[in-house]
Amino acid sequence: MIRGDVSTFLNALGAKENDPQLERALALVGGTPEVESFVDGGVKSTYLSLEDGGVEFLLTDGGTAHPHTPRSTC
């Protein structure tokens, strides 16, 4: 069984925006996420970035949370 902080992030995967599971994962990292949204091919994508914590969630059409590797700033 997976426990602790890792389980908090795993439980947030597939969560909708404002879902308590996603809110717990964001609170674990701390800070206020930078939010960036765009529409491509009719699909809305929203990035919730907590750069200081090295975490980024991608919410796709309907708000489902997916893990996402933060974009490089290089």
The whole-number pLDDT of residue 35 equals 93
Q: Where are the domains of the chain?
A: 5-67
Residue matched to tokens 């925006």: 17
pLDDT for 2-60, tens place per residue? 888 889 988 888 888 889 999 999 999 888 999 999 998 888 889 889 888 888 888 88
Angle between helices 20-29 and 5-12 in degrees, nearest 10: 140
Least Cα distance to 8 among 23, 49, 54 occurs for 23
Asked whether 46 and 37 are in contact (CB, 8 A), the reply is yes
Per the CB < 8 A criterion, the answer to whether 37 and 45 are in contact is yes
What does the pLDDT read at residue 64?
A: 73
pTM: 0.74
Greatest C-alpha distance within the chain: 39
